[in-house]
């Protein structure tokens, strides 16, 4: 169970950067699923830890648990509401049990690039999404970028028909299920830590993810190249429990807000470079990266457009308009 897992990991292994908190310091456990180095989320979490532990020394102390060692994304929010973990930054696809508003981020080919995503998240419509789960006890503190998603399988994918009949791993989002249904493929929800094994053994044939995740998890090793589709976005929300947050001393809440804000801006500004480095590392490892012609890309756009209509009631027309406006 997640609790056994939490006890053995937290109590047993030493995690880099967790030097031990001093008595009297309030501990913030930050749990995430990606690798800790060369990854947008891993680096941002480490920087957050470093700054809190320096600037709030004696008051608060953050411990970071990467690589799903404490919780998978499907368990971490429950654990947060129980008070077993205080912060996390799950992908925006992993809040399905708490709100349908965040489904906007899974609309295929909605955002042209990560700058458009950034503009939308900074807009009033985007910022209001940080508060879309307060009725469920979850408070959003910031958005963190990873990047645009790329597509791969155990064979080349250039036009939508290439994906037909193949099994694809998707994150826990009904929009993503609809995307692959629309292609005539077979989507399968699966937690991040299981994907490599599933691709390797043929439980699934393909996947979609950012360059940094494809590199960090070595998915390219068990796929026939990667197609540069940029067909969607994979970003994160830094979340905490409203109860824990509201119980903090004013001074601590103020300092945490400032540090989270500064770390978010700094790391979000660096993310494009990190994704490009991951892409380059995949190419250097000998994996083929395939580019789409404008005509091929348009085929994917056309094939997937019906998904928007189906999920617009969940996100609201105004939110969709604000997201589209962020492309200009
Ligand atoms: C995934 O499950 O593919 C991602 O959400 C993992 C992550 O946190 O980047």
Residue range 23-73, pLDDT digits in tens: 999 999 999 999 888 899 999 999 999 999 999 999 999 999 999 999 988
Nearest CA to ligand 1 atom 5: 91
Helix axes 73-81, 2-11, angle to 10 degrees: 90
Of 2-6, 70-74, 141-145, 209-213, minimum mean pLDDT range: 2-6
Q: What is the mean pLDDT of the chain?
A: 94
Is the CB of 209 inside a 6 Å radius of any atom of ligand 1? yes
Is 90 exceeded by the pLDDT of residue 14? Answer: no
DSSP 91: B
Q: What is the ipTM score, two decimals?
A: 0.98
CB atoms within 10 A of CB 150: 28
pLDDT of residue 17: 67
pLDDT at position 94: 97
Q: Which structure tokens are listed for 235?
A: 């970003």
Residue 91 alpha carbon to ligand 1 centre in Å: 6
| Protein residue whose Cα sits closest to atom 6 of ligand 1 | 192
Q: What span, in angstroms and rounded, lies between the C-alpha atoms of 298 and 149? A: 16
Q: Which DSSP category does 25 fall into? A: P
Question: Could you tell me which of 98, 107, 114 has the C-alpha nearest to residue 316?
Answer: 107
Please state the atom number of ligand 1 nearest to the C-alpha of residue 146: 9
Q: Which of 30, 34, 233, 271 to mutate to test the pocket of ligand 1 (most atoms within 8 A of CB)?
A: 34
pLDDT of the residue at 5:
37
User: Which 3 state secondary structure label does DSSP give 233?
Assistant: strand
> In this structure, what token pair is assigned to residue 206?
């393909």
At 255-281, the pLDDT tens digits run 999 999 999 999 999 999 999 999 999
- For residue 274 and ligand 1, the question of a CB distance below 6 A is answered with no
- Ligand 1 proximity of 171 Cβ (cutoff 6 Å): yes
Per-residue pLDDT of 280-289, as tens digits, reads 999 999 999 9
pLDDT at 157: 98
Predicted local distance difference test score (pLDDT) of residue 36: 85
Predicted local distance difference test score (pLDDT) of residue 252:
97
Q: What is the tens place of the pLDDT at every residue in 201-251?
A: 999 999 999 999 999 999 999 999 999 999 999 999 999 999 999 999 999
Instruction: In whole angstroms, give the CA distance from residue 150 to residue 173.
Output: 17
**Residue to mutate (ligand 1; options 73, 175, 204; most atoms within 8 A of CB):** 73
> In whole angstroms, what separates CA 27 from the centre of its chain?
24
Question: Which pLDDT value is given to residue 293?
Answer: 98
Q: Per-residue pLDDT for 4 more than 50?
A: no
What spacing in Å lies between the alpha carbon of 49 and ligand 1's midpoint? 20
How many whole angstroms from 257 Cα to the centroid of ligand 1? 24
Question: pLDDT value at position 74?
Answer: 80
Tell me the pTM. 0.93
Q: pLDDT tens digits for 294-328? A: 999 999 999 999 999 999 999 999 999 999 999 98
């Amino acid at each position: 169970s997640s609790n056994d897992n939490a006890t053995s990991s937290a109590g047993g292994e030493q995690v880099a950067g967790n030097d031990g908190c001093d008595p009297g310091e309030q501990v913030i456990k930050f749990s995430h699923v990606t690798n800790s180095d060369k990854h947008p989320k891993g680096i941002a979490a480490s920087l957050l830890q470093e700054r809190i532990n320096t600037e709030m020394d004696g008051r608060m102390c953050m411990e970071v648990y990467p690589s799903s060692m404490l919780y998978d994304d499907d368990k971490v929010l429950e654990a947060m509401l129980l008070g077993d973990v205080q912060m996390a930054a799950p992908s925006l696809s992993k809040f399905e049990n708490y709100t349908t508003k965040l489904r906007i981020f899974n609309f295929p080919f909605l955002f042209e690039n990560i700058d458009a995503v950034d503009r939308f998240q900074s807009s009033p419509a985007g910022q209001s999404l940080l508060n879309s789960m307060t009725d469920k006890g979850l408070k959003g503190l910031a958005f963190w970028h990873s990047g645009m998603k790329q597509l791969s399988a155990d064979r080349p994918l250039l036009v939508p028909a290439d994906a037909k009949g193949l099994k694809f791993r998707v994150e826990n989002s009904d929009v993503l299920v609809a995307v692959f249904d629309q292609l005539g493929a077979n989507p399968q929800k699966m937690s991040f830590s299981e994907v490599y094994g599933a691709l390797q053994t043929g439980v699934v044939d393909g996947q979609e993810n950012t360059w940094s995740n494809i590199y960090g998890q070595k998915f390219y090793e068990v796929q026939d190249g990667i197609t540069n589709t940029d067909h969607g976005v994979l970003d994160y929300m830094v979340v905490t429990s409203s109860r824990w947050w509201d119980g903090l001393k004013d001074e601590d809440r103020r300092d945490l807000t400032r540090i989270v804000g500064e770390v978010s801006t700094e790391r979000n500004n660096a993310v494009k470079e990190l994704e490009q480095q991951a892409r380059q590392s995949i190419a250097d490892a000998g994996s083929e990266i395939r580019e789409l012609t404008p005509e091929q890309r348009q085929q994917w756009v056309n094939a997937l457009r019906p998904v928007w209509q189906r999920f617009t009631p969940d996100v609201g027309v105004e939110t969709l308009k604000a997201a589209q406006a962020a492309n200009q």
